[in-house]
Structure formats: structure tokens, C-alpha cells
Structure 1
Amino acid sequence: MATYHSFDPALGHGLPHDPIKAIVAPRPIGWISSLDSAGTANLAPYSYFNLFNHKPPILIFGSEGRKDTIRNIEHTREFVFNLATRNLAGAVNQTSAVQPPHIDEFVLAGLEKTPSTKVAPPRVAGVAAAMECRLVQVQQLTDAAGVPIDTHLVIGEVVQVHIDQACLVDGLFDIKRAGTIARCGYRGDYVEAGETFEMLRPGR
């Protein structure tokens, strides 16, 4: 029988590092591009990110703190999700640094921009996939007692999808060929997409 290390997060975990992010891992990375009111591009990765609906496709990411990305999206009501992959991992990491609002992270990371089709923010040139989104809502989180916390959820509807043809194998998007990466629990830990296995739901 297993024995468990149990703890209340509010009281501390008693371990060398907080294990919660390591338990909920790997987490997809939302590499989000946006524009400010002056038209300056912003690019930042968010590891609190995922797809939460299929029809229509709904993406959600969480930002701890009201960062430039949040302000930009609230103003323009548009953003782009760029897929984070192994060949661009260094640039993903570089764009995670806190910069003044007037800094264009595309330029800082040496990335080229590609115009989007339906929204104003550009996408990262050369990414394996990107999704253009329009804002549904920005929601500030609260704790269980209803006290607001400094984290905001951005909910967006996907209105256009772009896929590098080289990442399609027999008409299916191949995450291994794309080199999709995800965030793991501890400082500096990432994982690259590897082996997959098939398990169909009953009745399929």
C-alpha cells in the first residue's frame, strides 16, 4: 500500500520545492502574440494554457499579474497562439523575460513576424502551427472565499488556424515532427513530445 506525503497548500509543503506544478505536468505552452495601442508587438509564453472547447475552438490562458499581454488583449480584443517547439525553445525562453511595454519581443528574440489573416497581431514566422483568436472575456480569479487574486484568465475563440504542411503526416498533425514542447514542474524543466499510444474510448 502506498504512503502519501499530504499537505495543505496554504500551510506549506515541507519539500525542497513546491510539487504542485510538477504533478500537473507537462503543461502546454501558450506562446501569445499581441499588439499594444501604439501597434508595438508583444510576445510572451504562458504555461497555464490549454484548449477548453472544440466547436467553436476556445483557448484559455492564465496570467499571474496584469502583464502587458493582458492589457493589450483587453484593448484590441485579439491575440495569436503560436506553438512552442524544440527548434524555437531558446526564443520562447527569451520572450519570457520581463520587459518594458515599448519593447518588441519579436525583435529582442530575433524572430520574424508573419501577418495574420483575420486579426491584427502578427504570428511568429516559421512556427509549426498558429491560431488567431478573438477575445471572449478576461476574468480575474478569486480564491474559494471570493477574495480576488492577481491572476487573470484570458478566454479566446479561434477564428483562423495555420499549420506548416511539413507537420502533416497522412493528413494528421504530427506533434513529434513539430517538436512540440511543454512546461514541467520545476525551474527550467521542459519536455519535448515523444512516444504516443492509442487508446480509443469505448464504443469508438
Structure 2
Amino acid sequence: MARADFDPGAISSRDFYRLLTAVVVPRPIAWVSSTSEEGVDNLAPHSFYTVASVDPPIVQFTSVGEKDSLRNIEVRGEFVVNLTPASLFEEVNATGTDFAPEVSEFDAVGLTREPSVKVRPPRVQESPVALECRLHRMLPMGDSTLVFGEVVHAAVSSEILEGAHPRIDLLEPLSRLGRNEWGTLGPIREIKRIRAKDWPGHFDRAGEQQD
């Protein structure tokens, strides 16, 4: 296999960012709602997003640079992560517009505020899932800040639940790819994780192969 080599010290950080975001894919999107000190409700998509801890339940997103979400969370200590369904593709993209801090993306884009249960920032009523979070900590990292939030309440639309489990085909989550590319769910495949004891010619705890 022929490969092209990229040295992050030999090209601009912006060019290497474009490379990273094209190969670290697909990336789930944290659609973060927050409220400023002046009471303005902000809503912005952040595509560096994951689960950071199970117990306690902590999610993490990265703010590249200092954006309204970061400033608001620093002040309020609270935010909501709303799921981004494919049906709201254009609205999610529109909330990434660099509006002035005094402009609420809820109003500019035409989305509906829904009161949260345990935090001040509102949820997106049109989104099927909302994770209400209290700030756990912020971690500066180069030109970015990692924001960790403990999930204190989760609200899930009953329409996408099968028992207590959300159905992925009904969630239809959006993801970010490279450039201006976005991803949707596509085909779903299922496979069970193989336990070591079930592996053909499995190894015991000492690393010895068993018959």
C-alpha cells in the first residue's frame, strides 16, 4: 500500500486540522444549548464529542477556540446536549453560524425552547434526546478547551423507545465528516463481541493456548 506522509510540524495547523477531521470520522455532534450571563440562550453544534465516564455519567465536548458555548458554561456551570437527528440537518448547520453573542440561535433558526428539569439552559423541543449537564471540569488543551459535564437528567422521546432502549433507526443521528460533509446512519450491522473463552484455541489467563 502506497502512503502519503504528513508532518504536523511541516504544514499549517489549519491544513492538519482538515486532515484530522477527514480521517477521524464519523464524529457525533453535541448540539449544546447554554445560557449567557445576560440571559441569552445559545445553541451550537460541536463535533468533537464523546462519553468520558460511565459512573458518574460524564459527557465531553471540545470547544476549538473560545466560543459562546464555552463562555456561557464558564459563567453558568450548566448546559444541555441535544441529539442532532437527520430531520434537522439544515437547522443544526444553521446554528453553527457566527451570530453575535446577543443573538439567540433558537430565535434566528426558528427552534423551540423546552424547559429543562434540572438546569437553566433550555432543551431543543424538536430534538428526541436531551442530556442535562452540570459542569464537571474544563481542561485547556492547546488552542482548545475540553468541557466535561455530568449528566444529571436525560429526557428521551417515548416515540423512539423500545421499552427503555432508544432505537437507533428512529434516532437517525447526524455525524460530521471532513470538509462540509455530513453523515447519516446508513446500513446497521450487528455483531456480538467474542469472549476469550469462546475463541477457537482460546488462551488461558497465563497466555497458554488451550485445545
TM-score (norm 1): 0.89
Which has the higher Rg, Structure 1 or Structure 2? 2
Residue in 1 that maps onto 2:85: 85
Q: Structure 2 counterpart of 1:96, which letter?
A: G
Q: Distance in 1 between matches of 2:163 and 2:148?
A: 32
Segments of 4+ moved more than 3 angstroms: none
Matches within 5 A, 1:55-74: 55-74=55-74
Residue in 1 that maps onto 2:75: 75
Match of 1:192 among 184, 191, 199: 184
Q: Distance in 1 between matches of 2:18 and 2:40?
A: 36
Residue in 1 that maps onto 2:166: 173
Matches within 5 A, 1:1-204: 2-12=1-11, 18-141=18-141, 149-185=142-178, 187-194=179-186, 195-202=188-195
Shift of 1:6: 1.9
Name which of structure 1's ranges 100-109 and 18-27 shifts more when overlaid on structure 2: 18-27
Shift of 1:123: 0.4
User: Of Structure 1 and Structure 2, which has the larger fraction of its residues in helix?
Assistant: 2
**CA offset digits 1:90-146 (Å, max 9, x no partner):** 1100000111110010001100000000000000002111100000111111xxxxx
Shift of 1:201: 4.5
User: Of Structure 1 and Structure 2, which has the larger fraction of its residues in strand?
Assistant: 1
Shift of 1:3: 2.4
Q: Distance in 1 between matches of 2:34 and 2:18?
A: 31
Q: Distance in 1 between matches of 2:57 and 2:169?
A: 23
Q: Distance in 2 between matches of 1:81 and 1:137?
A: 16
Q: Structure 1 counterpart of 2:121, which letter?
A: P
Q: Distance in 2 between matches of 1:126 and 1:201?
A: 38
Q: Distance in 2 between matches of 1:18 and 1:76?
A: 32
Shift of 1:168: 1.2
Gaps of 5+ in 2: 199-211
Q: Distance in 1 between matches of 2:74 and 2:18?
A: 32
> Does structure 1 conserve the Cα–Cα contact (< 8 Å) formed by 2:111 and 2:126?
no
What is the SS of the residue equivalent to 1:19? helix
Q: Distance in 1 between matches of 2:61 and 2:147?
A: 5
The alignment of Structure 1 onto Structure 2 pairs a total of residues equal to 193
TM-score (norm 2): 0.86
